[in-house]
A and B are shown apart, each in its own frame.
Chain A
């Protein structure tokens, strides 16, 4: 099954971009400004720098284990049993914390801003079904959808940012560097924890499926960087236009779009941001979900992972409705549960894998050096 699916490195770049932008485009400026106030954009730059380092680390994983997905790497590094446990933990946490939260984000946004009287369950169901449909069709189709939707997303985004330029006031940035490095670092965590650490789970989806395997690491890295730049510009514009008020809104980008008024003619176009958010959230949801499905299939040794899509999909819709009693609980989860989880997923885990893998490689080399000196190690 896996051998049939192929995506190009350009498609991988777009998927990584969408994953990075994800839910953050609507919510991130608010969190950053709450912590770092007018220095939020510096925190964002710091976040991009951190994520460049971390994604660099994941690239080492790709280089060391070419074509192997996350769970195959686990098996190679930790052996079948412990590797299975690690895989199960990663998959279960991704499955439980990832897709339901993404669906909840969408439902929350719709029931706060747009369709107040529509029950959340109907929007959750619709979006969940869409995700089931997409994952059932496989990563190849998802990648093609990304290729189709990206121009739409990017043109809308660019248009929105350009139309906001007349509202920019540079005094809002002053005083620059009012906050110390520690505060900025703490703020940047909120970018990194959603957009950089979890991106490692994409390794389950695309590893071994990219047509030009050599270009894959570069595309992956650039996608993350590009997504980070989009978020950086959004944050900067938020600070320049809304200033500290950004912190007060749940969805500052939506408020930004509301403020656009060019000659009483181009105005009331906030639905544009809703369309963008539908697109980016869709990919975040689908990539989480696909990774979880592939993970479970790998653990249970099921050859055709599509068999799992519908039951797991129904579960994520269910979890999206029951995980969170209210908005405050969910926001609190982002600040408490998600940080240690993403830290484990994105920092601790790859470092441990790399170290063990490195030691194993050295040991093998030594042994091989004694018996068969001609064979070289892969990679």
Chain B
């Protein structure tokens, strides 16, 4: 009995000593929280820039110490993890990656292919998949991370939230997380895309603290265009219209706004799309593949400059609808042109649609899909339903014009 008690106490002691899990502890004051990650090419080596939070500067209410809220460290090397560990010779603390917000890849690296740089992020246990990947357009990733921003004190956080907001309310961006990107890399019959980011203003001034203190002299970061990939190599950029079409086709549009020319006038009205649904349907008939795109959206009329449209008439709404449909159709066609003719890469997922429709045809023809894709016939069907016209029906502009013509 005594023996048993001794054994019992012994086991409990072991539990107490080991179960407190102090072994791998990492206290908050030992961590350097990484929020932004940038990758550039210097010579034949990678250069990694880490944007780390300066906690005392971000947390303090009221008076800060006057230093910048973030610090950017950079280092060169052959592999990503090697560089990150070499950075400990520069930073006072060990980098902690679980709160990463954004990953900036320079255009140069993207054009060469980015898969080599990404394995570490896929493998390491600290990395989560909820950060966004963007491509820095015509500038180095390092410079993008160097810019200080105003509304959000942490620039990477600004990049994250602004991309999140833009994706929800403005169609032509593409918020891709790492897992989403790798999924499209692996999927048959669809190529990945990433949003581009560019620096507006002088690169050098962006890093100075004054950039956040001056109202007008802001060097800012702006999302611009969508980078199109062939496998993991960047092949080109979509402009705003093509980007919008891409998101329409891939059903990524939550809400967006577009201006359409008024019939019979050199003026415009604005349509706010509040719900959009697109279906890409692949069909193989007599051994010939074809794509049918069905795009239905529900929209509101949100701004009008035209004076000749009488909004009290139902047929005016019909007219507006058909004008908008034509506009959306043009957008989609421009995107399809970019995919098939300009860049010859299937970022619209047509191959996947064909595969889902006819797996047998796909397994036979996936080897020469590239040639098939370029000459694939695409049929577009657009349906826009305008529901509301805002707080008013006819604009005061029309009232003014009408009274003017009455006087005459």
Interface residues of A (CB under 8 A from B): 112-119, 122, 125-126, 129, 133, 171, 174-175, 178, 242-245, 248, 255, 258-259, 261, 268
- The proximity string for B residues 1-38 relative to A, scoring 1 for CB distances below 8 Å and 0 otherwise, is 00000000001001100110101100000000000000
8 Å CB contact of B129 from A125, A243, A258: A258
8 Å CB contact of A242 from B14, B15, B179, B356: B179
- Give Cα A126–Cα B11 distance, bound, in whole angstroms: 9
- The proximity string for B residues 180-194 relative to A, scoring 1 for CB distances below 8 Å and 0 otherwise, is 001100110000000
A125-B14, A126-B14, A133-B11 given; A118·B186 CB < 8 A? no
| Contact (Cβ within 8 A) B18 A122 | yes
Task: For the complex formed, measure the closest distance between the CB of B120 and the CB atoms of chain A, giving whole angstroms.
Answer: 14
What is the count of residue pairs linking A and B with beta-carbon distances less than 8 angstroms?
54
Q: How large is the interface on B (under 10, 10 to 19, 20 to 34, 35 or more residues)?
A: 20 to 34
- Give Cα A174–Cα B24 distance, bound, in whole angstroms: 43
Closest-by-CB residue of B relative to A310 is B7
- Give Cα A174–Cα B128 distance, bound, in whole angstroms: 27
| Contact (Cβ within 8 A) B183 A113 | no
- Give Cα A261–Cα B359 distance, bound, in whole angstroms: 34
| Contact (Cβ within 8 A) B183 A243 | yes
| Contact (Cβ within 8 A) A245 B125 | no
- The proximity string for B residues 147-189 relative to A, scoring 1 for CB distances below 8 Å and 0 otherwise, is 0000000000000000000000000000000010011001100
Closest-by-CB residue of A relative to B359 is A175
Q: Is B122 part of the contact surface with A, judged by Cβ < 8 Å?
A: yes
| Contact (Cβ within 8 A) A112 B23 | no
Q: For B122, what are the chain A residues with a Cβ–Cβ distance below 8 Å?
A: 248
A112-B125, A244-B183 given; A126·B18 CB < 8 A? yes
| Contact (Cβ within 8 A) B183 A115 | no
Q: Is B230 part of the contact surface with A, judged by Cβ < 8 Å?
A: no
Q: Is B355 part of the contact surface with A, judged by Cβ < 8 Å?
A: yes
| Contact (Cβ within 8 A) B186 A245 | yes
A175-B356, A175-B359, A248-B122 given; A258·B183 CB < 8 A? no
Q: For A112, what are the chain B residues with a Cβ–Cβ distance below 8 Å?
A: 125
| Contact (Cβ within 8 A) A115 B11 | no
- Give Cα A117–Cα B21 distance, bound, in whole angstroms: 11
Chain A: interface secondary structure? helix
A174-B356, A175-B359, A244-B186 given; A126·B128 CB < 8 A? no
Task: For the complex formed, measure the closest distance between the CB of B28 and the CB atoms of chain A, giving whole angstroms.
Answer: 16
Mark out the residues of chain B between 42 and 68 whose CB falls within 8 Å of any chain A CB in the assembled complex: none
- Give Cα A248–Cα B187 distance, bound, in whole angstroms: 13
Q: For A114, what are the chain B residues with a Cβ–Cβ distance below 8 Å?
A: 24, 125
Q: Is B130 part of the contact surface with A, judged by Cβ < 8 Å?
A: yes
- The proximity string for B residues 128-156 relative to A, scoring 1 for CB distances below 8 Å and 0 otherwise, is 11100000000000000000000000000
Q: For B359, what are the chain A residues with a Cβ–Cβ distance below 8 Å?
A: 175, 178
- Give Cα A133–Cα B21 distance, bound, in whole angstroms: 21
| Contact (Cβ within 8 A) A129 B21 | no
8 Å CB contact of B23 from A118, A258, A268: A118
- Give Cα A114–Cα B126 distance, bound, in whole angstroms: 9
- Give Cα A142–Cα B398 distance, bound, in whole angstroms: 82
Q: For B14, what are the chain A residues with a Cβ–Cβ distance below 8 Å?
A: 125-126, 129
Task: For the complex formed, measure the closest distance between the CB of B27 and the CB atoms of chain A, giving whole angstroms.
Answer: 14
Query: Which 10 A-B residue pairings sit nearest by Cβ, starting from the closest?
Result: A115-B24, A118-B23, A174-B356, A117-B24, A175-B359, A118-B24, A113-B125, A178-B359, A175-B356, A126-B18
- Give Cα A245–Cα B181 distance, bound, in whole angstroms: 11
- Give Cα A188–Cα B166 distance, bound, in whole angstroms: 44
Closest-by-CB residue of B relative to A242 is B179
Can you report 10 residue pairs joining A to B where beta carbons are below 8 Å apart?
Answer: A112-B125, A113-B125, A115-B23, A116-B24, A116-B125, A133-B11, A174-B356, A175-B356, A178-B359, A258-B128
- Give Cα A176–Cα B130 distance, bound, in whole angstroms: 29
- Give Cα A113–Cα B182 distance, bound, in whole angstroms: 20
Task: For the complex formed, measure the closest distance between the CB of A174 and the CB atoms of chain B, giving whole angstroms.
Answer: 4
Closest-by-CB residue of A relative to B19 is A126
Closest-by-CB residue of A relative to B4 is A136
